[in-house]
Structure 1
């Protein structure tokens, strides 16, 4: 079963997360397929930019708790998006949770519909947004995000735009993206690649400096007793034992 659908229109390669049965959770299989699709788009001279979108009501629910990718694989995927010599543009018309926000923040430009919601839910299952921090914190307002990191609350597209998690939000996400896609189609491949290199330099510095430590932290937390209780409670649709 294919988890990533591919289409192309006038130089824009659309990669669609197509695993609605688990809300496009980042399973080992989906991460592998998306990595392969990105690599192919990066090599293809006919691709000017990549549009990353989704089927169903959820862009991504974060790590698949039943078939999670290795933390190293998720780090590699996020870095691949940041390093791809072509703009990667996110189109969101649904919900984004936990690791899905790391995927969103790895993209160069992100647009969301006003129906979208967002949440860093890691803290509620006994872990922390460790790996996603590699892409989120260099690009967003840390002070504004502190509340969302610490509480796991849901927030809307306007707040996501205010914090810098998304570039723009609107009722019609395709109308928001129309001038963006027109712009990248008018830009030269060399101009796009070199400009992206300038924009992502600090993000890649964070990977070089922090990826190993954050990967180890993620692995340690996910194997902890509190995380096991949190994940079990989530799957059983009940409050974990620490809720007061």
Structure 2
């Protein structure tokens, strides 16, 4: 694919998707949404890619919606607004459901829909001093399309507060409430992201994919007979898979598994 708002690179099984609109703090519009959707669908289907990093170019990670896009939406009909919002919802779901693990590399301030981008990722690492803000209520709006991911990422109580107050919170608070998994000095951000990506690449691609799906499918479900059967079926299937058998063999033979990069 050719992109006008993103750059996409790949090296050693890790693809990096970088928001590349630094002049507007990587705010998104319909083009960014379409390109992110396309990029993650393509990378999810690329066998050589085992992990994806979502990053931003310039001072901010993502400032949410582009002002010119918002001005255009102000004149939309109800049906046009609904269709437009659905494309954003589908883009977030594409990232969240991508079969490859996604790491958010949050180097700069992140507002509104940008918070949703981070929440849709599997692992989030932020530079110390970064600020987050769910600012929609200040504008008379709702963080509706991002809410399924943000609430899962930070929890109901924290979401309740930050949705209604539209307060800024920093990386330390994001770590405290579980919204990000690690904070590091800005100079150490790339090293931490590379460390996490290398860990993912060293694991069984199939097991990583199925583990991601497992969390999504099991979270919030009642622990009942159906769930017990489901989880038993999953482990039975993966034990009999090619990578499952190879993993056990390599462990017993005290050697690296076949999928591990040399």
User: Corresponding residue for 1:178?
Assistant: 194
User: Corresponding residue for 2:39?
Assistant: 37
Partner residue of 1:57 out of 37, 44, 59: 59
8 Å contact from structure 1 (residues 134, 203) kept in 2: no
Pairs within 5 Å for 1:140-155? 140-155=154-169
Secondary structure at 2:61's aligned position in 1?
A: strand
Cα distance, 1:202 vs structure 2: 5.8
Alignment length, in residue pairs?
Answer: 205
Partner residue of 2:23 out of 21, 24, 39: 21
Cα distance, 1:204 vs structure 2: 11
Q: In the aligned structure 1, how far is the partner of 2:107 from the partner of 2:47?
A: 29
Q: In the aligned structure 1, how far is the partner of 2:48 from the partner of 2:4?
A: 23
User: Corresponding residue for 1:198?
Assistant: 214
User: Corresponding residue for 1:5?
Assistant: 7
8 Å contact from structure 2 (residues 150, 159) kept in 1: no
TM-score when scaled to structure 1? 0.79
RMSD value over aligned CA atoms? 1.8
8 Å contact from structure 1 (residues 88, 108) kept in 2: yes
Structure 2 spans left out of the alignment, 5+ residues: 74-83, 222-262
Which range moves more in the overlay, 66-75 or 123-132? 66-75
User: Corresponding residue for 1:118?
Assistant: 132
Rg larger for: 2
User: Corresponding residue for 1:209?
Assistant: none
Which structure exhibits the higher relative contact order, with contacts defined as CA atoms closer than 8 Å and separated by 6 or more residues?
Answer: 1
User: Corresponding residue for 1:101?
Assistant: 115
Secondary structure at 1:139's aligned position in 2?
A: helix
Q: In the aligned structure 2, how far is the partner of 1:23 from the partner of 1:11?
A: 28
Secondary structure at 2:67's aligned position in 1?
A: coil
8 Å contact from structure 1 (residues 138, 202) kept in 2: no
Cα distance, 1:203 vs structure 2: 7.4
TM-score when scaled to structure 2? 0.74
- Over residues 115-168 of structure 1, what are the superposed CA-to-partner deviations in whole Å (9 max), with x where a residue is unaligned? 311001001000121111110112212223333222211111011111122111
- Over residues 73-120 of structure 1, what are the superposed CA-to-partner deviations in whole Å (9 max), with x where a residue is unaligned? 111011111111110110011010001111110000010000311001
Secondary structure at 1:85's aligned position in 2?
A: coil
Secondary structure at 1:137's aligned position in 2?
A: helix
Which range moves more in the overlay, 148-157 or 112-121? 148-157
8 Å contact from structure 2 (residues 61, 108) kept in 1: yes
Structure 1 spans left out of the alignment, 5+ residues: 206-244
